[in-house]
């Protein structure tokens, strides 16, 4: 097996145990490699075993705890910190892909300075600091501005202190997803500018008004965990979830009912529900509701029907359901942030308020940091730069030029622009100096999420490049300019941080010695104590609240730019894992698309894949044309596009020539200071131009094959859970035939039960997947990429269907035609580890075979590449290496230095011509068996977690031994909802699916 980039190559760089120049061939003769010993043994590290470091994920503002798996001094995988209150050991796809930010081949490797020719050239750190110091001498006071992303925590404090020391207070915070509408509503109603936390686990009725709470909204992993508990089927009970939004996004897949109101009118529905509750007195309404009573009473269900097109009856029913259970209503999602989004958020908060949910399922944490910054602030800064009032601009952790093209031209009017970006993104390109910050995994830092607590970050490895932590740079600058009084006298940022944590220790009333507290915080990833909730009550300003609906400007189609579940606001775009991660809805990779409803598509005369021009009143994208994706889950007359693609800089993966959704949005802040993600556009199709979508679904519907099955709550309660919905045509195997088959099978197996490796007792590894829990978030997919060294293959190969995703989420549209409601069925599909695996007997060389412990083994080095196994796999979960993905210079090279550093040394990197597939993370199974053997104990249920299971925020995946009747997986496999995909083929899969349960509205 050729191993251009092999396990050993990995071991080399830090070389605890072994290493090597790239060894070319390997079946027998090995090239001499080099072993480089450590000078001093690193703490806690044993070569060949992983060390885990606790730190905090900074890919979004949720503040998930991380356990970083480090092998031989290199971070190789990001996993959730089981002790974290936010994510409890789970981690989303974006969070896991943080590793590819660390090892991004397009990282800025050293300080850069823009020359007279506009090209960047490397300079030394000393020179770079000197340049700034020189300029700081000339500029002072408010002419110094610091633009950053959400840095709630010590860094924020440092920036403020540093600016103050230099006489400035201009710290502008800008996050693309700033939730300005939600915050404005909280400000207006309750007088607090902060973001709420939702306690889903207590709720049994969830209604979302355009909030993508399972995708990007506030804290998606936390939301998914809670929602999974609230909504999954459990002993005859489950919650109900209604989604109100013109577009059915990933979150809405789980919705039991999807209501598509007129665009921008969700607020009216929410307020009318509040109206009904107040009218009927069914809610646990606080007494001070009278302040807003006129507002609520003004919105009758009938009025709401007028505004939204949702019938009054439905609104009445929803209101009844809302108070019949513990409930939660969500609003203010970025994908629904139109000009009247503050109205929506106000209405939703009022709905929660009248139902008595505040403090119950909707909480404002006492220790939540105050929110800061908005789109309006950014635009104000742009204005100020245009007026020549900014002499020195620092940019850290935000990339406004990408989604606000006017900001770039404004920057031209600022003096010295200094970026701390790790990547040459659009904003860094406009700067004079780029002083690359350490990646969050290389940093000392802390973070305070809206859900409360103080989270620590520690460097998990040496810096990959010649980068420096921005905190250190600021301290150096302060020393150089002599403005280093107070906390700025700290020797380095770590000391500054520790000083800050002495305060935190006091705040959390910890009475141990500081070092004990510090070390314990490091081990746990921070301190989280339930600081309690803010007791919110209606502020005086609540009486002035107004409710409006969004009014389209001019004719045309309503355009929605929604946050992409894979790209986020765009910062995921330079990570190949995320680019290749199929969008949960469209299943499109490596580019953007325009979602169009079937009726609208017919009007436009387009089908999926047709290339269209989209133009708004201010913008028309000339770069290329945008492919259409016909989607039944979007309201007629509405088109939608994911944010995050269409970068012009930001690295080879990001700058992929597709369109940027935010460009089609109107400039300028809305009344509440945010940006409207709605606009009116026209779509033109000249005819004839078409591209093959880089889509990972062959067909969008399951053609009655019963792949992803569902049942209804009512059927389960009535004891008809075994009924196959969506599998009308699959003829079941008659029972007596099945008996004969089973008997015959037993007889066959007797042959090998006492032979060779098959003799004796063995586990039968198996998995169960609860479709009622799966939200299609793709976290498992990225976990698999990370754990099993899966290559990313790029757009062209995905168009040929050659993606290597060992686990994929199959997404099937149901209904949506002939007046039936549109629904989506999901099914995570990985190797089913069939007992009677069709792939095995056809392999001529036993590369595919059955292990004694029930795995469907795939021996890569034995594989000749006949691909017969893949033909014969009914589930199509075998993936072939068409190219040498790990080889430099290959057409589809997946691991440009240093991306190869992420490779898991426990898993063989496959060469070209070899079939590969999921083996239930056999390296983890063997690893756990080794550990148990070393410790002299037996494995117990739960000792082994597959990568997908470990990260699943919904806890949908359970792995274990089927031969152990007490294991979780055994019990789940005998559930009334259990079924095998294509079970009629008698493959006897090891993966059991539990049917999705739809909690239909009571008639």
Partner 1 sequence: MATSVQTERTEPNTYATITRDVFNTIGNPGRGYYVLLGIVLCGLAIGGFSLLWQIRWGLGVAGYTPPVFWGVYITTFVFWVGIAHSGTLISAILFLFRSAWRTAVYRTAEAMTVFAVMTAGLFPLIHVGRLWYAYWLIPYPNQRQLWVNFKSPLVWDLFAISTYLTVSTTFLIVGLIPDIASFRDKATGWRKKLYSITSLGWRGTDQQWRHYTRAYLYLAALATPLVLSVHSVVSWDFAMSIVPGWHATIFAPYFVAGAIYSGVAMVITLLVPMRKIFKIEHIITVDHFENLSKLLLLTGMIVGYAYFVEYFIAWYSGNPFERASFWNRAFGEYWWATWTMILCNGALPWLLWYKKLRRSIPMLFVLSLFVNLGMWFERFVIIVVSLSFEYSPAAMGHYTPTWVEWGIMLGSFAWFFMWLLLFAKNFPMVSIAEVKEIIPLPRKKEVHQ
Partner 2 sequence: MAITISAGWSRSHSHRVNGASSPWFGGVLAVAALFLGGITAPVNASAQDSQPSVGGFQAPVDVDTLGLPGPRQPIFYRHDIHAGQYEISCKYCHFAAEVSQEPGLPTMSTCMGCHLVIGTGNPEVDKVRTAAAEGTPPEWVRIHNLPSYVRFPHMRHVNADVQCQDCHGPVEEMPQVYQYAPLKMGWCLDCHLDREVTTDCTACHY
Partner 3 sequence: MSKSPGGIMAVFEHVDVAADSIRALKEMGHKDMTVYTPAPLHEIEEAIGHTSSPVRRWTLAGGLTGLASGFAMTMWMSYDYPVVVGGKPLGSIPPYIVIMFELTILLGALSTVAGLVFHAIRNYRAAGYDPRCSDDLIGIFVPCPVERRSAVEDMLKDKGATEVKVEV
Q: Tell me which stretch binds partner 2 (CB under 8 A): 430-438, 463-471, 834-842, 926-934.
A: 926-934
Record the tokens describing residue 81, joined without a space: 């910190």
Neighbours of 817 (CB within 10 A): 11
Counting contacts by CB under 8 A, is residue 47 touching partner 2? Answer: yes
What residues contact 588, with CB distance under 8 A and at least 6 apart?
582, 627, 629, 693, 694, 695
- Which residue ranges make up the site for partner 1 (CB under 8 A)? 696-699, 701-705, 707, 729-731, 797, 800-802, 808, 810-812, 829, 838, 841-846, 862-868, 870-872, 874-876, 879-884, 890-892, 912-915, 982, 985
CB 925 within 8 A of CB 30: no
In the list partner 3, partner 1, partner 2, none, the entry touching 611 (Cβ below 5 to 8 angstroms by class) is none
Q: Which of 259, 239, 346, 351 has its CA nearest to residue 309? A: 259
Query: How far does CA 849 lie from the centroid of its chain?
Result: 35
CA dihedral 913, 919, 924, 930 (to 10 degrees): -90
**CB-nearer residue toward partner 1: 16 or 873:** 873
Counting contacts by CB under 8 A, is residue 754 touching partner 2? Answer: no
Counting contacts by CB under 8 A, is residue 841 touching partner 2? Answer: no
- In the complex, what is the shortest distance from the CB of residue 918 to partner 2, in angstroms, rounded to a whole number? 12
How many residues in the chain?
1003
Counting contacts by CB under 8 A, is residue 745 touching partner 3? Answer: yes
What residues contact 755, with CB distance under 8 A and at least 6 apart?
none
- In the complex, what is the shortest distance from the CB of residue 849 to partner 3, in angstroms, rounded to a whole number? 5
What residues contact 575, with CB distance under 8 A and at least 6 apart?
97, 100, 101, 104, 653
**CB-nearer residue toward partner 3: 62 or 869:** 869
Residues 849-878 that bind partner 3 (CB under 8 A): 849-850
**Binding residue for partner 3 (CB under 8 A) from 386, 413, 492, 836?**
836
CA dihedral 179, 185, 186, 190 (to 10 degrees): 170
CA dist 66 and 204 (Å) reads 30
- Whole-Å CA distances, 937 to 10, 359, 760, 928: 31, 47, 19, 11
Residues 875-914 that bind partner 2 (CB under 8 A): 906-909
In the list partner 3, partner 2, partner 1, none, the entry touching 7 (Cβ below 5 to 8 angstroms by class) is partner 2
CA dist 303 and 816 (Å) reads 27
Counting contacts by CB under 8 A, is residue 17 touching partner 2? Answer: yes
- In the complex, what is the shortest distance from the CB of residue 205 to partner 1, in angstroms, rounded to a whole number? 32
Sign of CA dihedral 145, 146, 149, 153: negative
Counting contacts by CB under 8 A, is residue 846 touching partner 3? Answer: yes
Pairing outcome for strands 823-829 and 808-814 = antiparallel
**Binding residue for partner 2 (CB under 8 A) from 284, 519, 520, 757?**
757
In the list partner 1, partner 2, partner 3, none, the entry touching 491 (Cβ below 5 to 8 angstroms by class) is none
Residues 158-177 that bind partner 2 (CB under 8 A): none
**CB-nearer residue toward partner 3: 32 or 747:** 747
Q: Which of 158, 691, 220, 200 has its CA nearest to residue 475? A: 158
**Binding residue for partner 3 (CB under 8 A) from 66, 163, 848, 914?**
848
In the list partner 1, partner 3, partner 2, none, the entry touching 751 (Cβ below 5 to 8 angstroms by class) is partner 3
**CB-nearer residue toward partner 2: 365 or 885:** 885
Counting contacts by CB under 8 A, is residue 752 touching partner 3? Answer: yes
In the list partner 2, partner 1, partner 3, none, the entry touching 892 (Cβ below 5 to 8 angstroms by class) is partner 1
In the list partner 2, partner 1, partner 3, none, the entry touching 511 (Cβ below 5 to 8 angstroms by class) is none
Counting contacts by CB under 8 A, is residue 845 touching partner 2? Answer: no
CA dist 823 and 433 (Å) reads 50
CB 452 within 8 A of CB 365: yes
Q: Which of 45, 50, 64 has its CA nearest to residue 526? A: 64
Counting contacts by CB under 8 A, is residue 46 touching partner 2? Answer: yes
8-state DSSP, 506: H
**CB-nearer residue toward partner 3: 391 or 989:** 989
- In the complex, what is the shortest distance from the CB of residue 908 to partner 1, in angstroms, rounded to a whole number? 14
Bridge partner residues of 869 (DSSP): none
| Cis preceding linkage at 909, omega within 30 | no
Counting contacts by CB under 8 A, is residue 944 touching partner 2? Answer: no
- In the complex, what is the shortest distance from the CB of residue 21 to partner 1, in angstroms, rounded to a whole number? 22
**CB-nearer residue toward partner 1: 618 or 757:** 757
- In the complex, what is the shortest distance from the CB of residue 326 to partner 3, in angstroms, rounded to a whole number? 49
Counting contacts by CB under 8 A, is residue 841 touching partner 3? Answer: yes
**CB-nearer residue toward partner 3: 267 or 838:** 838
Counting contacts by CB under 8 A, is residue 919 touching partner 2? Answer: yes
Q: Tell me which stretch binds partner 2 (CB under 8 A): 13-21, 279-287, 711-719, 955-963.
A: 13-21
Counting contacts by CB under 8 A, is residue 514 touching partner 3? Answer: no
CB 604 within 8 A of CB 581: no
In the list partner 2, partner 3, partner 1, none, the entry touching 748 (Cβ below 5 to 8 angstroms by class) is partner 3
- In the complex, what is the shortest distance from the CB of residue 50 to partner 2, in angstroms, rounded to a whole number? 10
Q: Which of 809, 530, 843 has its CA nearest to residue 697? A: 809
Distance linking the first and last C-alpha atoms of the chain: 62
Record the tokens describing residue 182, joined without a space: 């939600």
Q: Tell me which stretch binds partner 3 (CB under 8 A): 93-101, 525-533, 753-761, 935-943.
A: 753-761
CA dist 181 and 672 (Å) reads 6
- In the complex, what is the shortest distance from the CB of residue 698 to partner 1, in angstroms, rounded to a whole number? 3
User: By rule CB under 8 A, what string of x and - marks binding of each residue 847-866 to partner 2?
Assistant: --x-xx--x-x-xxxx----
Residues 972-1001 that bind partner 3 (CB under 8 A): 988
Counting contacts by CB under 8 A, is residue 479 touching partner 2? Answer: no
CA dist 120 and 417 (Å) reads 13
- Whole-Å CA distances, 595 to 318, 592, 627, 704, 751: 28, 10, 9, 25, 56
Counting contacts by CB under 8 A, is residue 756 touching partner 2? Answer: yes
**CB-nearer residue toward partner 3: 742 or 796:** 742
**CB-nearer residue toward partner 2: 232 or 858:** 858
- In the complex, what is the shortest distance from the CB of residue 866 to partner 3, in angstroms, rounded to a whole number? 14
CA dist 673 and 553 (Å) reads 19
Sheet strand arrangement including 765-770: 957-961, 765-770, 991-994, 978-979
- In the complex, what is the shortest distance from the CB of residue 763 to partner 2, in angstroms, rounded to a whole number? 13
CA dist 466 and 107 (Å) reads 10
Q: Tell me which stretch binds partner 2 (CB under 8 A): 34-42, 210-218, 457-465, 887-895.
A: 34-42
Neighbours of 42 (CB within 10 A): 16
**Binding residue for partner 3 (CB under 8 A) from 287, 509, 755, 818?**
755
> Where are the strands (E) in 458-574, listed by range?
526-527, 557-562
CB 917 within 8 A of CB 858: yes
Q: Reduced to 3 states, what is the DSSP secondary structure of residue 395?
A: strand
Q: Give 936: exposed, middle or buried? Use CB within 10 Å, 0-12, 13-18, 19+.
A: exposed
In the list partner 3, partner 1, partner 2, none, the entry touching 829 (Cβ below 5 to 8 angstroms by class) is partner 1
Sheet strand arrangement including 257-259: 257-259, 240-244, 205-209, 327-331
Binding site for partner 2 (CB under 8 A): 1, 3, 6-8, 16-20, 23, 26-28, 30, 32-41, 46-49, 756-757, 846, 849, 851-852, 855, 857, 859-862, 906-909, 919, 922-923, 926, 930, 933-934
Binding site for partner 3 (CB under 8 A): 745, 748-752, 755-758, 835-841, 843, 846, 848-850, 988
């Amino acid at each position: 097996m050729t191993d251009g980039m092999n396990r050993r190559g990995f071991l080399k760089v830090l070389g605890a145990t072994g290493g090597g120049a790239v060894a070319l061939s390997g079946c027998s003769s090995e090239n001499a490699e080099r072993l480089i010993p450590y000078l001093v043994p690193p703490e806690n590290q044993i070569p060949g075993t992983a060390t885990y470091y606790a730190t905090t994920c900074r890919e979004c503002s949720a503040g998930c705890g991380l356990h970083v798996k480090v092998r031989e001094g290199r971070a190789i995988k990001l996993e959730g910190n089981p002790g974290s209150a936010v994510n409890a050991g789970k981690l989303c796809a974006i969070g896991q892909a943080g590793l590819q930010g660390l090892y991004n081949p397009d990282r800025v490797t050293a300080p850069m300075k823009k020359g007279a020719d506009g090209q960047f050239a490397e300079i030394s750190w000393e020179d770079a600091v000197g340049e700034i110091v020189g300029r700081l001498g000339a500029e002072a006071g408010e002419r110094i501005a610091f633009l950053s992303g959400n840095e709630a925590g010590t860094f924020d404090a440092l920036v403020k202190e540093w600016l103050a020391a230099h006489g400035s207070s201009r710290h502008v915070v800008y996050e693309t997803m700033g939730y300005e509408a939600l915050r404005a509503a909280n400000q207006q109603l309750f007088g607090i500018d902060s973001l709420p936390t939702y306690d889903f686990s207590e709720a049994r009725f969830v209604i979302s008004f355009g909030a993508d709470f399972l995708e990007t909204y506030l804290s998606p992993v936390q939301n998914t965990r809670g929602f999974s508990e609230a909504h999954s089927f459990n002993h005859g009970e489950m919650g109900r979830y209604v989604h109100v939004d013109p577009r059915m996004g990933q979150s809405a897949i789980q919705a039991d009912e999807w209501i598509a109101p007129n665009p921008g009118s969700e607020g009216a529905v929410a307020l009318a529900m509040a109206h009904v509750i107040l009218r009927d007195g069914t809610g646990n309404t606080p007494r001070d509701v009278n302040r807003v009573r006129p507002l609520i009473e003004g919105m009758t269900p009938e009025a709401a029907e007028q505004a939204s097109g949702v019938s009054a009856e439905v609104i009445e029913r929803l209101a009844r359901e809302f108070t019949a259970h513990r409930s939660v209503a969500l609003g203010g999602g970025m994908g629904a942030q139109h000009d009247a989004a503050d109205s929506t958020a106000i209405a939703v908060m009022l709905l929660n308020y009248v139902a008595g949910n505040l403090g119950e399922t909707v909480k404002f944490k006492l220790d939540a940091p105050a929110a800061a910054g908005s789109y309006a602030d950014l635009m104000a800064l742009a204005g100020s730069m245009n007026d020549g009032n900014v002499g020195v601009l620092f940019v850290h952790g935000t990339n406004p030029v990408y989604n606000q093209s006017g900001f770039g031209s404004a920057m031209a009017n600022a003096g010295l622009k200094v970026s701390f970006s790790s990547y040459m993104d659009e904003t860094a390109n406009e700067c004079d100096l780029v002083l690359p910050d350490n990646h969050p995994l290389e940093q000392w830092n802390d973070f305070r999420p809206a859900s409360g607590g103080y989270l620590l970050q520690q460097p998990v490895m040496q810096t990959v490049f010649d980068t420096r932590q921005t905190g250190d740079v600021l301290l150096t600058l302060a020393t150089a300019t002599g403005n280093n009084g107070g906390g700025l006298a700290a020797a380095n940022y770590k000391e500054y941080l520790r000083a800050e944590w002495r305060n935190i220790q006091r705040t959390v009333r910890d009475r141990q010695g500081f070092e004990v507290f510090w070390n314990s915080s490091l081990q746990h990833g921070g301190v989280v104590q339930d600081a309690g909730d803010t007791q919110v009550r209606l502020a005086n300003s609540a009486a002035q609240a107004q409710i409006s609906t969004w009014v389209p400007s001019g004719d045309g189609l309503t355009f929605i730019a929604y946050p992409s579940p894979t790209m986020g606001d765009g910062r995921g775009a330079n990570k190949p894992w995320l680019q290749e991660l199929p969008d949960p809805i469209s299943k499109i990779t490596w580019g953007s698309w325009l979602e169009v409803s079937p009726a609208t598509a017919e009007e436009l005369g387009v089908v999926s894949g047709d290339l269209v021009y989209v133009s708004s009143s201010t913008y028309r994208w000339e770069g290329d044309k945008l492919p259409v994706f016909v989607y039944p889950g979007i309201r007629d007359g509405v088109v939608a596009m994911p944010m995050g693609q269409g970068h012009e800089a930001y690295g080879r993966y990001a700058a992929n020539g597709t369109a940027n959704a935010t460009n089609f949005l109107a400039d300028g802040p809305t009344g509440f200071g945010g940006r409207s993600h709605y606009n009116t556009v026209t779509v033109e199709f000249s005819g004839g131009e078409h591209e093959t979508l880089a889509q990972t679904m062959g067909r969008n519907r399951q053609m009655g094959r019963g792949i992803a099955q569902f049942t209804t709550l009512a059927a389960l309660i009535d004891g008809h859970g075994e009924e196959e919905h969506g599998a009308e045509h699959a003829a079941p195997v008659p029972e007596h035939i099945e008996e004969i088959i089973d008997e015959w099978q037993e007889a066959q197996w007797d042959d090998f039960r006492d032979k060779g490796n098959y003799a004796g007792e063995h586990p039968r590894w198996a998995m169960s997947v609860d479709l009622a829990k799966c939200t299609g978030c793709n976290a498992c997919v990225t976990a698999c990429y990370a754990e099993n060294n899966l290559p990313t293959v790029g757009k062209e190969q995905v168009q040929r269907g050659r993606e290597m995703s060992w686990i994929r989420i199959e997404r099937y549209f149901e209904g949506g035609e002939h007046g039936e409601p549109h629904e989506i069925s999901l099914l995570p599909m990985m190797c089913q580890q069939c007992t009677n695996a069709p792939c095995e007997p056809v392999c001529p060389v036993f590369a595919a075979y059955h292990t004694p412990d029930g795995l469907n083994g795939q021996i890569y080095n034995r594989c000749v590449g006949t691909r017969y196994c893949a033909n014969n796999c009914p589930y199509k979960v075998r993936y072939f290496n068409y190219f040498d993905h790990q080889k430099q210079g290959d057409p589809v090279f997946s691991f440009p230095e240093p991306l190869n550093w992420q490779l898991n040394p426990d898993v063989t990197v496959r060469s070209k011509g070899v079939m590969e597939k999921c083996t239930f993370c056999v390296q983890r199974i063997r690893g756990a068996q080794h550990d148990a053997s070393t410790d002299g104990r037996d494995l117990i249920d739960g000792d082994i977690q597959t990568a997908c299971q470990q990260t699943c925020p919904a806890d949908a995946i359970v792995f274990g031994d089927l031969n152990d009747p007490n294991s979780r997986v055994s019990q789940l496999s005998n559930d009334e909802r259990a079924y095998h995909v294509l079970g009629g083929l008698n493959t006897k899969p090891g993966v059991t699916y539990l049917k999705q349960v739809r909690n239909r509205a009571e008639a």
